[in-house]
């Protein structure tokens, strides 16, 4: 029986790279997206052409009913869920006092509530089978914080705390929960940075380059594979050493 992974935020730069890594390893993949239907459908066709079985559907991670429906349909189409990658997220560059209540709510609905919802939807079956992997995508800003990204930083710090607590709760059921904290990655989320800003970042990175989505995908896959069976509750920085 093939392994099956659900990837939230699958149509973005990091999400699509994660999906390609799992396809390379022969997994069935459930692609969850919200805004980027064209990109998601294109990714679905690409992965199917490589031989993977794919389920793809729009879903609002902040809506528990939609998430439950997605998980149920993914299981019906692909089989039991082996792993969940909570990758969906939004950011906002704005002074703390200028962020509206609506903007703040959106960040926490997607970045925190979305992680809670997706995890809650897959866990009962994982606990019953005494097997499963959950990988949450946080950020280096969840570790050290960022000026003008206070709400984003706080939401990603919450993901790290959630990872530790849930790992303790479901560990006795042989479910592993870990976290990946990417640094500056070459994706659309960082497209607002000009060349000068990127150079300033690179000057602070020991490995002297920004990261790629592939760098993140490699770590995510490892944490969903059998090679990580004795690892849980941990946050792994994929940031070139900028947070040391």
List, in order, residues 6 or more apart from 65 with CB less than 8 Å away: none
First-to-last alpha carbon distance for the chain, in angstroms, is 41
Q: Which residues of 75-114 are buried (b: 16+ CB within 10 A; e: fewer)?
A: beebebbbbbbbbbbbbbebeeeebeeeebeebbbbbbbb
From the candidates 33, 152, 221, 230, which is the catalytic residue? 152
Q: What are 118's two structure tokens?
A: 């997706």
Strand order in the sheet with 83-86: 54-58, 28-33, 4-8, 83-86, 132-137, 175-182, 235-238
Rounded to whole angstroms, how far apart are CA atoms 130 and 123?
10
What is the residue-wise DSSP string for 213-240?
Answer: HHHHHHHHHHHHSGGGTT--S-EEEEST
> Could you confirm whether 152 is annotated as catalytic?
yes
Both tokens of residue 120? Answer: 């809650």
Catalytic residues: 152
């Amino acid at each position: 029986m093939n392994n099956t992974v659900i990837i939230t935020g699958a149509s973005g730069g990091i999400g699509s790279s994660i999906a390609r890594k799992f396809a390379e390893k022969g997994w069935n993949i459930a692609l969850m997206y919200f805004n980027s239907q064209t990109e998601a459908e294109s990714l679905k066709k690409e992965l199917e052409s490589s031989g993977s079985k794919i389920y793809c559907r729009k879903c609002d991670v902040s809506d528990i009913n939609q998430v439950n429906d997605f998980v149920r349909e993914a299981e019906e189409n692909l089989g039991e869920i082996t792993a969940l990658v909570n990758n969906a997220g939004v950011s906002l560059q704005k002074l703390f006092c200028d962020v509206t209540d609506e903007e703040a709510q959106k960040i926490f609905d997607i970045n925190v509530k979305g992680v809670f919802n997706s995890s809650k939807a897959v866990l009962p079956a994982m606990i019953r089978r005494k097997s499963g992997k959950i990988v949450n995508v946080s950020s280096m800003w969840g570790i050290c914080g960022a000026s003008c990204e206070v709400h984003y930083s706080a939401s990603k710090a919450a993901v790290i705390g959630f990872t530790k607590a849930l790992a303790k709760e479901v560990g006795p059921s042989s479910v592993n929960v870990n976290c990946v904290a990417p640094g500056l990655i070459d994706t659309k989320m960082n497209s607002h940075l000009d060349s000068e800003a990127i150079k300033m970042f690179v000057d602070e990175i020991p490995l002297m380059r920004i990261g790629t989505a592939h760098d993140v995908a490699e770590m995510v896959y490892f944490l969903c594979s059998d090679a990580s069976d004795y690892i849980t509750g941990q946050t792994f920085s994929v940031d070139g050493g900028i947070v040391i």
